[in-house]
A and B are shown apart, each in its own frame.
Chain A
Amino acid sequence: MGVRQAYSMLVESGYLIEKEREVKLILAALIARGHVLIEGVPGVAKTTIAKSIARSLSLEFKRVQMTPDLLPMDIIGYKIFDQKTGEFKFVKGPIFTNILLADEINRASPRTQSALLEAMQERQVTVEGETFRLDEPFMVLATQNPVEMEGVFPLPEAQLDRFLIKVETGYPTTKGFTAMLKRIDEIEAWVESIKPVVSREDVLNEIKNVRDVRVDEVIYQYIATLVEETRRHSAVRLGASPRSGIAVLRMAKAVAYLEGRNYVIPDDVKQVLVPTLSHRLILNPEFEIEGVSASRIIEEIMSKVPVPKP
């Protein structure tokens, strides 16, 4: 069993109605050693998706509800004086886990966000000069509400860049919504009853396997062209960086692996381009006012750049 099986189990259960794409991207990010930002308005199953994935994997899972008064030590941990031993003892925070669900990350203060994001980048935390390595695999699943304006601290671009992908999840279709209403009690019970199908070792092995996925020369060129095109687009003030291109490659390899292939095809690149780049582009204000989104720009670029042929 592996992450592929977890994906099949979650999708085939039929309980995550119209969230198959989100599940695939989050699992791909896990085996690509990345972190995920899930964005959506309240009530679109952001937390349910995160919980379901975490439960299907035999990995340690912790959840932190971000609030403005949350301190960095509440996440990282702190040292207290042990009267018995006469020494300071480190009490680990919730960050010492495999999957951390940081719910409503934009409600935390910038200081707390920074502490979390530093751990995401370095995969280690330092408390009073002492460094503690985080367990592998380690993934942060952060959620945020894009329309909330009061009492939130939007993540700066540099911190958004720490997330490998941003998954935008929206409302279901009428058909999907109706099916969900009919089965809501079953769905809730199913989420609580999910049994892990993947061990920690399996996940670590799959992370190694993803690195060996074959990438043809033309795929590298295709990714480079797509990324460079974001810098040439008239609506884009700040285009995608080389790090973004690396993220696209890693995600494309992970998606190919999740679909049972050991090679990347142009479809994999197309599939991951919007979630990988949309949070990294900064648009010109005049286009933003007109309602142009980064996702639309990326889709436009994909429709213009020729796919590698023959």
Chain B
Amino acid sequence: MTRLGTVILILLPVVVGVLGNIGFTQQLESYRHTPGFSGYSLSDWQEILNALTKGNLTPSEALMAASLIGSLANQSSQSQPIGSASNASLNALYEYFTLTSGNFSETDIMNAISLLNNSNIRDLLYSMFTGKNVSSSDIMQALNLLNDMWRGGEISTTDYMLALKLLSILAQSQGYTDLSGRLDYESMKAAASLMNNLTSILPNLIPYTSQNYPAPTGVGLGAPPQLLLPSLKYLSVPQGLQTTVVTTLVVAAAIMLFLLAPRIAVKARSLNPLAYRKLERLLAEAGGWGEAVRLYWRAVSRVETSTGRRMLPSETHREYYNAVEASMGSSSALFKRLTEIYEARRFAGDSRRELDDEARRLYGELSGKL
């Protein structure tokens, strides 16, 4: 079998297993986090969160966020796998992203106001939106009130985030652009905090155990990869990175194995010549070359131990004799004759029984001297 064939045979089950697991995990994660919206995934969530943390969420990102949060809110309201507080947070986020996208109507503003839990803030903002001639000092006054309540723990993050966004829209409508931008920035920070909280419970939003998630496809291995690597399906690293890392490792391992396999084989054989010798003796017996050949290999083992010079796999019987002759002293003549008998039996096809008798005698004498 060729070296390439051996490497392929070794690596095939590994590659198939890993690919099967990756395929299954990706499909599962995709299903869990983007029900009905295959275009969105964990990476989208992460992207939105990053943009919010930096305070520079664009209208298009806000629109995508609204769609993603809206679908999650819709899904969770049907199966109710999470608490009402989390549901309220999802609804608030949906309204927030709708308003941030710029694609909103008067109804959306009224809905956002109605989602505020704190009645004082709700009434204040309602009056500001329905009243006339709101000045910058009115907005600043409302902002100070919101900050005081937020720091005092009187209002939730949801209320704070939505109220800031509503004040920002109000400031924009009155021409206070700078103030609107500042309010927007603060609201994004609050929204990021809210999304961060939701991230920790994200796997529970759509519990996969209660769903008819699709059967793993991968490359057709099914359950075995999960059994081998059960933790892989809980990995929350981005799918692209996961696939890249695993594929790189497999390819690197394949290249290393391809290049090193012959050297490892040769080293292993030369490091353990006794095992190799044992194998040769077994082969000698299996080959039916008789006792002379078997005794020769026994004698080689004894000479190796006695002289400390091992027979290399690429060494012939004559080469080995020449190498150990000097260090064997008077017993070298016995080993020389044994080598000749081995050669005659093994390569000349000499099957005379006398050779076995002579080999037995020589081996006995050699054993006594070594």
* Complex contact A267–B348 (CB within 8 A): no
Interface-lining segment among B69-77, B115-123, B134-142, B282-290: B282-290
Main secondary structure of the interface of B (DSSP, over half): helix
State the CA gap A261–B349 with chains docked (Å).
12
Considering only residues 128-168 of chain B, those with a C-beta below 8 Å from chain A are: none
* Complex contact A310–B287 (CB within 8 A): yes
* Complex contact A267–B318 (CB within 8 A): yes
State the CA gap A303–B266 with chains docked (Å).
11
B314 within 8 A of A: yes
* Complex contact A306–B349 (CB within 8 A): no
Q: Number of residues in A with C-beta < 8 Å to the partner?
A: 19
* Complex contact B283–A310 (CB within 8 A): yes
Chain A residue nearest to B318 (CB atoms) is A267
* Complex contact B349–A214 (CB within 8 A): yes
* Complex contact B348–A307 (CB within 8 A): no
* Complex contact B289–A267 (CB within 8 A): no
Chain B residue nearest to A256 (CB atoms) is B347
* Complex contact B266–A304 (CB within 8 A): yes
* Complex contact A310–B346 (CB within 8 A): yes
* Complex contact B349–A309 (CB within 8 A): no
* Complex contact B293–A264 (CB within 8 A): no
* Complex contact B316–A307 (CB within 8 A): yes
| Distance in Å: Cβ of A226 to nearest Cβ of chain B | 10
Q: Point out the residue from A216, A302, A303, A305 that lies within 8 Å of B349, measured CB to CB.
A: A216
Given A310-B283, A310-B284: A263 in contact with B347 (beta carbons within 8 A): yes
B47 within 8 A of A: no
Considering only residues 247-286 of chain A, those with a C-beta below 8 Å from chain B are: 261-267, 270
* Complex contact B314–A216 (CB within 8 A): no
Given A306-B313, A310-B346: A267 in contact with B284 (beta carbons within 8 A): no
Q: Which residues of B contact A262 (CB under 8 A)?
A: 348
* Complex contact B319–A309 (CB within 8 A): no
State the CA gap A306–B276 with chains docked (Å).
11
Q: Convert B273-309 into 0s and 1s, putting 1 for each residue whose CB lies closer than 8 angstroms to a CB of A.
A: 0000000110110010100010011000000000000
State the CA gap A301–B13 with chains docked (Å).
33
Q: Point out the residue from A261, A267, A304 that lies within 8 Å of B316, measured CB to CB.
A: A267
* Complex contact A309–B280 (CB within 8 A): yes
* Complex contact A307–B314 (CB within 8 A): yes
Q: Which residues of B contact A270 (CB under 8 A)?
A: 316
Q: Convert A209-250 into 0s and 1s, putting 1 for each residue whose CB lies closer than 8 angstroms to a CB of B.
A: 000001010010000000000000000000000000000000
State the CA gap A304–B296 with chains docked (Å).
23
Q: Point out the residue from B287, B347, B349 that lies within 8 Å of A265, measured CB to CB.
A: B347
Q: Which residues of A contact B281 (CB under 8 A)?
A: 310
State the CA gap A307–B269 with chains docked (Å).
13
Q: Convert B3-15 into 0s and 1s, putting 1 for each residue whose CB lies closer than 8 angstroms to a CB of A.
A: 0000000000000
Q: Which residues of B contact A304 (CB under 8 A)?
A: 266, 314
* Complex contact B266–A265 (CB within 8 A): no
Given A302-B314, A304-B266: A264 in contact with B346 (beta carbons within 8 A): no
* Complex contact B313–A216 (CB within 8 A): no
| Distance in Å: Cβ of A151 to nearest Cβ of chain B | 43
Q: Which residues of B contact A305 (CB under 8 A)?
A: 314
Q: Which residues of B contact A263 (CB under 8 A)?
A: 347-349
State the CA gap A261–B348 with chains docked (Å).
9
* Complex contact A303–B314 (CB within 8 A): yes
Given A266-B316, A302-B314: A310 in contact with B349 (beta carbons within 8 A): no
| Distance in Å: Cβ of B365 to nearest Cβ of chain A | 22
B-side interface residues toward A, CB under 8 Å?
Answer: 266, 269, 280-281, 283-284, 287, 289, 293, 296-297, 313-319, 343, 346-349
Additional 14 contacts, C-beta under 8 A, given A265-B318, A310-B287: A219-B347, A262-B348, A265-B317, A267-B316, A267-B318, A302-B314, A303-B314, A305-B314, A306-B269, A306-B313, A310-B280, A310-B281, A310-B284, A310-B293
